[in-house]
């Protein structure tokens, strides 16, 4: 796994739409990520003037150009933007477009066009992975039937092939509200997609909340993994509340019937359910190369979350990786 | 990072800290869990060691079994050791005032006991504010400076017996904070027993150039607090009753982490001076009260260490 690079996700610094808009906030966050031992930063897509890091147009508006933002990132001692997380279902104020659905053949051209917008900028910033939700939320539609899975596969094959022209890979993300959580849906979608252009993002926290063992998923589909997001899970949606309409708000944000205060945390948090050393070994075993992005999703103490993650990285995970590279027994 | 044994400079973190617990802010001594989280963060950003406060020794004995056992926990987190302790005395004109000879026996007794308590680990420095609050010492006369120097010469002899340097840290609100008074004080102290600990922000707030002060007294300097400020004291800031440090009407927050925007300390010049004076060993980083006015200790610690690594180590390491 010598080809692994470590990044940290910026999303934890923006709990509300009017937070984290000023240059000095960005500078302090990027420097914090850097000194904690990470090499890159993962961005999350957004729209409008209060999302300075949300898309190529906003980067240009705030940093002069995409390249100007790249200079800014490097001035904070990070080497690259690793990846961009983008949901086509989010409207775009820059394009005056509403939600786009990967389940709609009519939306495919627009999704491809916008994906290339992100991928082109990402490539300029040294990144290599566009992360998209593999399917809409389960509560927002019918269970995925064969026709739906066929369309999803067609959409993502088209997107993956298109952004490949920019040198960027597509990774399908399974969050804990995803329709892909239904039994067999993820396997069926992966079987329908072209492995050369459509990969899988392993998000350890989301999968664990969904009741899916990320270790088992890596064992089954290690060859499809194109991106990894390491975050911890503090609770499991064992009541399967993810099927509720508007679960993004009622379950993810509000915490469902139990009012879970925080589903996710930085790796190694007290009460965390994910075994990160075991995951690192599993990725080694799968010969994974690429970005591993550490995240907390949202944190009441973003800098502390980044530093505690850095400690785990430096003191526990990197020694496993370096031990494997040196051929230490038991590390693979 | 270059291996610590190969570097001329190593970095220690002065252990001011607050985090947010479920019932409100706590410091790292709240529990073993909060202590571990603190040490992990200090280690994660690349500090080599920590400094601490003398008054924490009670928690070291009570919660950890003493300074040696606590230092083992520090080392379990990948940090080298405890480098310095800050003796934060409760100055009082009735019992504990360096410019008043009648209080010296009490102060000397305090240091004999204090050094015994620390003797199970090896410190580099015990740091003191060498004078009372400014308003308790003024007017600052030569006699008062002489009496103060006499005391610290004796204290330094006691600490030297334990292999620890006595070093003086001149807060902007203490009785010895102007350049002439600092110069006079060191002229009366014995270089063998009394050292200077340069706090870049405190001198800057007092209106001194910390680089020039360091260059003038470099042969007496046994350590540093690298911290920044955005304000120079004006008017009676240095003698405000009852407190100048966190209650001065002009300024709600005096101290900022190294690397802050709008900082007044020229750290590049400072590091160049450290190099050119041939200093080797520990530089401590401090940003006390970082949590005031919305600040965050974790972030300030990250920013300061980022600056040390990416700017200062390019000058001297």
User: What is A233-260 written as a DSSP string?
Assistant: ES---TT-GGGSTTHIIIIIIT-TTTT-
Say what the pLDDT of residue B53 is: 97
Q: Chains A and B: how many Cβ contacts under 8 Å? A: 69
Cα(A38)–Cα(A9) distance, integer angstroms: 10
User: What is A131-158 written as a DSSP string?
Assistant: EEESS-BGGGS----HHHHHHHHHHHHH
What residues does each domain of chain A span?
4-310
Instruction: With beta carbons under 8 A apart, name residues in chain A contacting B44.
Output: 36-37, 307-308, 310-311, 314
* Contact assessment for residue A286 and residue A223, using Cβ atoms and an 8 Å cutoff: yes
Tokens encoding B250: 């002009």
- Closest listed residue to residue A203, CA positions, set A331, A2, A19, A11: A11
Cα(A270)–Cα(A204) distance, integer angstroms: 16
Interface contact A310-B78, CB threshold 8 A: no
A34 to chain B: closest CA residue: B306
Between residues 32 and 71 of chain A, which touch chain B (CB distance below 8 Å)?
32, 34-37
Cα–Cα distances in angstroms (integers) from residue A160 to residues A111, A128, A200, in the given order? 11, 12, 12
What residues does each domain of chain B span?
4-314
Cα(A19)–Cα(A233) distance, integer angstroms: 24
Say what the pLDDT of residue A328 is: 63
Interface contact B45-A36, CB threshold 8 A: yes
Instruction: With beta carbons under 8 A apart, name residues in chain B contacting A8.
Output: none
Interface contact A303-B298, CB threshold 8 A: yes
Say what the pLDDT of residue A332 is: 44
Give the fold, CATH level 3, of B4-314. Answer: TIM Barrel (3.20.20)
Average pLDDT over residues B86-92: 96
Q: If you ran DSSP here, which 8-state letter would residue B133 be given? A: B
Q: Is the pLDDT of residue B69 over 90?
A: yes
What are B96-151's pLDDT values in tens digits?
A: 999 999 999 999 999 999 999 999 999 999 999 999 999 999 999 999 999 999 99
Say what the pLDDT of residue A144 is: 96
B260 to chain A: closest CA residue: A28
Tokens encoding B94: 């009735």
For Cα atoms A244, A246, A249, give the angle at the middle one, nearest 5 degrees.
110
Q: Is A314 on the interface with B (CB under 8 A)?
A: yes
Cα(A325)–Cα(A2) distance, integer angstroms: 7
* Contact assessment for residue A70 and residue A28, using Cβ atoms and an 8 Å cutoff: no
Interface contact A304-B298, CB threshold 8 A: yes
Tokens encoding A28: 């302090």
Tokens encoding B88: 């934060």
Say what the pLDDT of residue A325 is: 85
Q: Which CATH number fits domain A4-310: 3.40.50.720, 3.20.20.150, 3.40.50.10300, 3.40.640.10?
A: 3.20.20.150
Residues lower than pLDDT 50 in chain A: 1, 330-332
- Closest listed residue to residue A275, CA positions, set A222, A233, A321, A229: A233
User: Which of A77, A300, A307 lies closest to B41 in CB terms?
Assistant: A307
Q: Which H or E run includes A323?
A: helix A318-325
What are B271-316's pLDDT values in tens digits?
A: 999 999 999 999 999 999 999 999 999 999 999 999 999 999 999 9
Say what the pLDDT of residue A65 is: 98
What are B13-46's pLDDT values in tens digits?
A: 999 999 998 899 999 999 999 999 999 999 999 9
């Amino acid at each position: 796994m010598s080809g692994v690079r470590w990044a940290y996700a910026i999303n934890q610094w923006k709990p509300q739409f009017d937070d984290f808009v000023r240059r000095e906030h960005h500078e302090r966050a990027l420097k914090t990520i850097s000194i904690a031992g990470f090499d890159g930063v993962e961005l999350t897509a957004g729209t409008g003037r209060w999302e300075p890091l949300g898309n190529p147009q906003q980067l240009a508006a705030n940093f002069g150009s995409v390249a100007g933002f790249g200079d800014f990132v490097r001035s904070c001692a990070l080497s690259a933007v690793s990846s961009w997380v983008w949901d086509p279902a989010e409207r775009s104020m820059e394009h005056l477009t509403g939600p786009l659905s990967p389940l709609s053949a009519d939306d495919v051209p627009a999704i491809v066009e916008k994906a290339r917008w992100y991928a082109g900028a990402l490539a300029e910033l040294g990144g290599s992975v566009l992360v998209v939700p593999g399917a809409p939320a389960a509560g927002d539609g019918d269970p995925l039937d064969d026709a739906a899975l066929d369309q999803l596969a067609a959409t993502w094959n088209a997107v993956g092939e298109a952004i490949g022209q920019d040198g960027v890979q597509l990774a399908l993300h399974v969050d804990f509200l995803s329709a892909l959580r239904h039994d067999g849906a993820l396997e069926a979608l992966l079987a329908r997609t072209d492995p050369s252009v459509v990969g899988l993002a392993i998000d350890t926290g989301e999968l664990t909340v969904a009741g899916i063992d990320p270790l088992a998923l890596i064992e089954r589909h290690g060859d499809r993994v194109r991106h990894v997001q390491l975050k911890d899970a503090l609770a499991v949606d064992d009541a399967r509340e993810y099927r509720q309409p508007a679960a993004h708000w009622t379950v993810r944000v509000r915490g469902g019937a139990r009012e879970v205060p925080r589903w996710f945390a930085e790796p190694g948090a007290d009460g965390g359910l994910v075994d990160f050393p075991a995951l690192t070994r599993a990725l080694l075993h799968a010969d994974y190369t690429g970005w591993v992005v550490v995240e907390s999703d949202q944190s009441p103490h973003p800098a502390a979350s980044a530093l505690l993650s850095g400690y785990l990285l430096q003191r526990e995970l990197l020694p496993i990786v370096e031990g494997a590279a040196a051929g230490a027994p038991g590390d693979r | 990072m270059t291996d610590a044994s190969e570097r001329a400079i190593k970095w220690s973190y002065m252990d001011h800290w607050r985090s947010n617990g479920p019932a409100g802010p706590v410091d790292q001594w709240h529990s073993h869990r909060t202590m571990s989280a603190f040490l992990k963060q200090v280690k994660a950003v690349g500090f080599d060691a920590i400094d601490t406060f003398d008054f924490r020794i009670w928690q070291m004995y009570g919660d950890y079994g003493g300074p040696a056992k606590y230092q083992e926990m520090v080392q379990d987190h990948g940090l080298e050791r405890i480098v310095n302790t800050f003796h934060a005395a409760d100055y009082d004109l009735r019992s504990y005032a360096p410019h008043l000879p009648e209080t010296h026996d009490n102060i000397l007794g305090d240091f004999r006991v204090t050094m015994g308590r620390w003797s199970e680990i090896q410190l580099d420095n015990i740091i003191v504010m060498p004078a009372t609050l400014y308003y308790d010492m003024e007017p600052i006369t030569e006699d008062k400076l002489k009496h103060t120097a006499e005391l610290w010469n004796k204290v330094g002899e006691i600490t030297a017996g334990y292999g620890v340097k006595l070093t003086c840290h001149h807060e902007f609100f203490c009785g010895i904070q102007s350049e002439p008074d600092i110069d006079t004080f060191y002229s009366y102290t014995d270089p063998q027993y009394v050292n200077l600990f340069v706090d870049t922000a405190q001198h800057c707030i007092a209106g001194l150039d910390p680089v020039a002060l360091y260059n003038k007294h470099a042969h007496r300097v046994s350590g540093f607090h690298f911290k920044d400020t955005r304000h120079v004291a004006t008017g009676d800031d240095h003698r405000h009753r009852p407190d100048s440090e966190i209650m001065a009407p002009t300024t709600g927050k005096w101290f900022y982490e190294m690397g802050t925007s709008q900082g007044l300390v020229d750290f590049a010049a400072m590091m160049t001076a450290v190099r050119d004076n041939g200093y080797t060993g520990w530089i401590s980083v401090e940003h006390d009260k970082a949590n005031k006015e919305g600040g965050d200790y974790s972030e300030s610690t990250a920013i300061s260490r980022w600056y040390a690594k990416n700017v200062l180590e390019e000058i001297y390491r």
